[in-house]
Amino acid sequence: MNIVIFDEDPNFSGAIEDILDDFFTECKPKLEYALYVANDPKELDTFIQENHFDIVFMDITIPGKDKFGIEMAGKMRKKDKNAYIIFVTSHDELRGDIFKGLINPSQFLVKPAIKEDVFEIMNEIIISETEDVGNICVKFARHLYCIDHNNIVFVQKVGRKTTIYLLDELFDKELEVSDPVQSIQERLPDHFIMVDKGVLVNAEMISKFDSAERRLLLQNEMEVFVSRNAVPRVREMIST
């Protein structure tokens, strides 16, 4: 993942660089990334002509050109329409012009940049990119976890939180996250089935079904209860 940071103020671009380093340090699993910082418009122009980029943090204004970033983003869109462009500016009043169609940014960040805001933007980008390739991304506090579907044994609501039980120890075998069970189910394949209120099971992880006791033995050697209403669906899944 190639990330470009453009701002004529090296202190500000350096601050964004540090925040992004922190973000990727906290990501699990670790994601490969490269940061390129430009403080000069010509340097930026040369870079985007010669390189691929995935995410751009773009200052809108430079001396003599109030909408430099908007014009540059237009060039970027012609080269890569899927790039994520985050406009960074202290001029919040320019937001209206941008969203009226001059250029369609992915996000808008008003200076001074707050770490939590940058983390939230990056979380949204990573989730949208990663969940298309057999993973689900979930959050707890500021941490983002991207998990292979095949590593999930079951998901259960525990109090106000949700616990994801994993087959291996890529993170921990029990991962507490903020996402509701229903939200997780909507982003997983059909072989994840709700077997009881707040309990979502990966049918491919079922080792045995005790129909008399209505209990599932799972591959991580844990057991979960199956409600009467879910019994037909469980039988259907384990018979296929």
What superfamily in CATH does domain 2-130 come from?
Answer: Response regulator (3.40.50.2300)
pLDDT value at residue 32 = 83
Residue 180 preceded by cis peptide, ω within 30: no
- The CA-atom distances, in angstroms, between 237 and each of 102, 105, 130, 139, 200 are 51, 44, 27, 29, 13
> Given the DSSP bridges, would you call strands 107-110 and 84-89 parallel, antiparallel or unpaired?
parallel
Closest CA to 36 of 26, 46, 47: 47
**pLDDT the model gives residue 232:** 93
Give the largest CA-CA distance in the chain.
78
What residue spans define the domains of the chain?
Answer: 2-130, 135-239
User: What is the mean pLDDT of each successive set of 10 residues along the chain, which is 240 residues long?
Assistant: 90 92 83 89 87 88 75 81 84 55 64 84 82 76 80 91 84 80 92 96 95 94 95 87
Amino acid residing at 238: I
Residue 89 CB-half CA count within 13 A: 23
Q: Is the dihedral of CA 229, 232, 235, 240 positive or negative?
A: negative
SS3 content of the chain, % helix, strand, coil (to 5): 40, 30, 30
Cβ neighbours, 10 Å, residue 27: 18
pLDDT of 37 reads: 93
> DSSP E strands: which ranges in 62-196?
84-89, 107-110, 135-140, 143-148, 152-158, 161-166, 174-177, 192-196
CATH number of 135-239: 2.40.50.1020
Residue type, 45: D
- pLDDT given at position 171: 57
DSSP 63: T
Cis, peptide link before residue 232, omega less than 30° from 0: no
Q: What is the model's pLDDT at position 106? A: 66
